[in-house]
Amino acid sequence: MHEPDLTGSRQDLTVGEAARLIGVSVRTLHHWDALGIAVPSGRTWSGYRLYSPDDVARLQQVLVYRETGMPLARIGELLDETDTNALEHLERQRALLLARITRLQRMVRAVEALTDKETRMSTTPEQRAEILGTGWDLAWEEEAQRRWGDTDEWAQSEARRAAMSASDWKQVKEESDQLLADLAAAMREGAEPGGERANALAERHRASIDQWFDTSHSKQVLIACGYVADPRFAAHYDGYEPGLAAWLKKIIDANAAAHGVDPATARWQ
């Protein structure tokens, strides 16, 4: 229980009151505080957190941005921008939320359409595009089949696709989105190629390809060359964070080198 306000004009909220007001747990507010994203500006006489009206407004901003799917680290950066006012934040949040609503509605329609075929079914390219959202271009799949349709890797990938259900594709999308968010965050936070964090992300990236066909570090290095050589790949990754395509190639090369592969002489094996 907080100390009584002798003036009768108390506006600050305890952590429990603030949590109930915005609809999150006390533990969540403690987490945001520890990360420095939303730090209460006041304390009671006995050291308990107190949130001012401005603090609560920031909590609400964090909550809205989080609902768009944005990583917490990026939210903190946005809210600390000195040249962005409250109205600009609201306009940005509205656009992000509308985009997220559109993606979720598309996902719901796709899952509903596939519900009666949930038990180990083969999806068509059109169904996969629906499930994976607007970032998936059917032309990429058609081009890939023209280029690699007669390879062992393509046959292995097609066999694995045929065994996937709608929920499997949904999981692929969620894991892909999370990997991209984690890559962008690591780059922004200065993770060095060859470091523990960067190597772990490079291994997650390799695993994301390995789910389709057996992917060695050599193959991953060669695939990553396309991320900087092909403007479409570069635009895809750089859309999440400027320079991400080139940085991703660097961490893949460094991780491959740590596993005995020279990126300069890597072969498809």
Q: Where do you find CATH 1.10.1660.10 in the chain?
A: 13-84
pLDDT at 71: 77
Residue found under tokens 């000195």: 82
Residue found under tokens 């991780």: 255
pLDDT at 18: 92
CATH number of 131-265: 1.10.490.50
C-alpha 220/C-alpha 149 separation (Å) is: 19
pLDDT at 50: 92
Q: Where do you find CATH 1.10.490.50 in the chain?
A: 131-265
Say if residues 131 and 111 touch (Cβ distance below 8 Å): yes
Query: Could you tell me the two tokens for 114?
Result: 């596939």
Residue found under tokens 């941005």: 65
* 122: DSSP letter: P
Residue stretches of the chain with pLDDT short of 70? 1-10, 103-150, 162
CA atoms within 13 A on the CB side of 91: 5
C-alpha 199/C-alpha 72 separation (Å) is: 22
pLDDT at 112: 58
Q: Long-range contact list for 64-68, CB < 8 A, 24+ apart? A: 64/93, 64/97, 65/93, 65/96, 67/97, 67/100, 68/93, 68/96, 68/97, 68/99, 68/100
CATH architecture of 13-84: Orthogonal Bundle (1.10)
